[in-house]
A and B are shown apart, each in its own frame.
Chain A
Amino acid sequence: MSAPSDAMVEIRSVHKKFGSLEVLRGIDLAVRPGEVTVVIGPSGSGKSTLLRTINHLEKVDRGWISVDGTLVGYRRDGDKLYELREREVLRQRTKIGFVFQNFHLFPHLTVLENIIEAPVSALGRPRKAAVAAAEKLLERVGLLDKAAAYPAQLSGGQQQRVAIARALALEPRLLLFDEPTSALDPELVGEVLDVIKDLARGGTTMIVVTHEIGFAREVADTVVFMDEGRVVEQGPPADVLDHPVQERTRAFLSKVL
């Protein structure tokens, strides 16, 4: 494999179809360790699908993705890629945190149980250690007092902060955010973005799909603009957001800014 050693995430020529609809038409992307990559683009441009292929929630039709030097979802032998068994894919996912647009907290478990579930059942951590780590994470997202609450008793912003703590509990090498603030009331967006910014300053590698252009400008090392299943333009926020070269980028930005 020709993965350059300094890339945390490498995406090569990824294609994906849903039925006859081509959602991804050959994506190439590299993310260096510690970098924040923000993916923007109109809805239907394939950015969420791309994010979901990175932890193999979505299988690719062509191309490959590697995280931390390891192929995701496949094993290479010669010039063939063999699909991994589910158990192996699940093990790979413990190194990749994923935060959903609609949080997807487990409603029948308390906040604390939500966070320790994966460390205990997927990594085999002792319950006590998992609880201690979970409490530290809850403190970090400012929700330690909600440890015993059920998700339905929290606001949307609080639920998303718990979901972020749940993803962090596996100590992932990479964090993926799929429109983390799109399901929130406007006044709750800030508290979630603050947590993500805090993580960015802490040097976590992450890829964030979002519509928050201001957030991209402030936090991103690289902004990627996608349209119709292709990467149209990428670079530092100052270039892509303020001096876009491509006409499609300009048209999109003029609508959202």
Chain B
Amino acid sequence: MSLTSDPPVDPSAGPPTDPSAGPSAPPPADRCAAKGAGAGSETLTIVPARHPWRWAAIAATAVLLAQFLNGLITNPGWEWDVFARFFTAPTILKAVWVTLQLTVYGTVLGFALGIVLAFMRLSESRFLRAVAHGYIWAFRSIPLIVQLLFWFNLAYLYEELTFGIPFGPGFFAFDTMNLVGATSAAVLGLALHQAAYAAEIVRGGVLAVDRGQSEAAAALGIPRLRQLRRIVLPQAMRSILPNAANEIISLFKGTSIVSVMAIGELFYQVQVVYGRNGRVVPLLMVATVWYILLTTVLSVLQHYVERHYAKGAVR
């Protein structure tokens, strides 16, 4: 069959004939059938393109994965029996609990201060903006570990903390050594560090809400606090949440830094145990699996919270 002898192609009956195919190109059988059937062209079958290299990549990846899993099971170095013995040991569970507490306090205090800082940065007062900006600048610049050690040594700078009139007489005085113990120093450090990041996340979320939303709320006479709580923040949450979840997860893992202050959280406890029995690898795996497990729980929570705040969004 040659192109010139083709009957005129009805544009609605199928794809236009490709002139580059040349007169010698054998016509696909189904196209001929379609032409013969005329209006029956809707029945043309679509053949997906083939991806041979994708199959090669899949095969190679599968082999590597199988090797890795095989190693996990057969390599005696993992010492899975030691892992099983320590995974739910009371000292480890207690350490997991300390890690969770550090995370919760760090998150709650950090985001509480972060929200305050975010609204200071969004304020019309130049002074408040500058102070918040300065705080964020400072706490983002200081490595967490350096900051933690500062708080740990607070008593060296201020032996006594006094509550009273600023620059005036004091009412109560506390011994700094007693008030700021290792754990509260750690919580303080984590929270203050977290606040700087939380502030920027919250500010970003509020800025992402259309100006028209607060304007419409203001035009309706809705009280200021209600505008924030009911109109602006729920919409800001949509962009705050993914970033906040990132921050909480990295704070959760970041608590391992606190081990430098000899606080019995997960990573510190694991180090103590392998220092005693020398089984480094299985005990690192104990910590690893706990971190993975709890991060997974956080990710699942994130999914449901995000779904809650997606109300009204059509995707």
Give A residues with C-beta under 8 Å from B. Answer: 55, 57, 86-87, 90-94, 96, 98, 100, 102, 104-110, 117-118, 121-123, 150-153, 166-167, 170
Q: Main SS of chain B's interface residues?
A: helix
Contact with A along B205-217 (1 / 0, CB 8 A): 0000010110111
Residues of B with C-beta under 8 A to A166: 220
Decide if B234 touches A108 in the complex (CB within 8 Å). Answer: yes
Residues of A with C-beta under 8 A to B311: 108, 150
Q: Which of B3-11, B126-134, B161-169, B222-230 contacts A (4 or more CB under 8 A)?
A: B222-230
Residues of A with C-beta under 8 A to B235: 106-108
Residues of B with C-beta under 8 A to A100: 212, 215-216, 219
A98 to B216 CA separation, bound complex (whole angstroms): 8
Q: Is B173's beta carbon under 8 Å from chain A?
A: no
Residues of B with C-beta under 8 A to A152: 312-314
A100 to B213 CA separation, bound complex (whole angstroms): 11
Decide if B221 touches A104 in the complex (CB within 8 Å). Answer: no
Decide if A117 touches B314 in the complex (CB within 8 Å). Answer: no
Q: Which 3 A-B pairs have the closest CB atoms?
A: A104-B216, A94-B221, A150-B312
Q: Is B144's beta carbon under 8 Å from chain A?
A: no
Decide if B221 touches A107 in the complex (CB within 8 Å). Answer: no
Decide if B313 touches A122 in the complex (CB within 8 Å). Answer: no
A122 to B230 CA separation, bound complex (whole angstroms): 13
A107 in contact with B312 given A90-B218, A93-B219 (CB within 8 Å): yes
Q: Is B284's beta carbon under 8 Å from chain A?
A: no
A86 to B219 CA separation, bound complex (whole angstroms): 12
A90 in contact with B216 given A106-B231, A152-B313, A153-B314 (CB within 8 Å): no
A149 to B10 CA separation, bound complex (whole angstroms): 45
A136 to chain B minimum Cβ distance, whole angstroms, is 18
Contact with A along B48-74 (1 / 0, CB 8 A): 000000000000000000000000000
Decide if B212 touches A102 in the complex (CB within 8 Å). Answer: yes
Decide if A121 touches B314 in the complex (CB within 8 Å). Answer: no
Interface residues of B in 275-315 (CB under 8 A from A): 309, 311-314
Residues of B with C-beta under 8 A to A121: 222-223, 226, 230
Instruction: Please indicate which of the listed interface residues B210, B235, B312, B313 has the most CB atoms of chain A within 10 Å of its own CB.
Output: B312
* 6 interchain pairs, CB-CB under 8 A: A90-B221, A94-B221, A100-B212, A108-B313, A152-B314, A170-B220
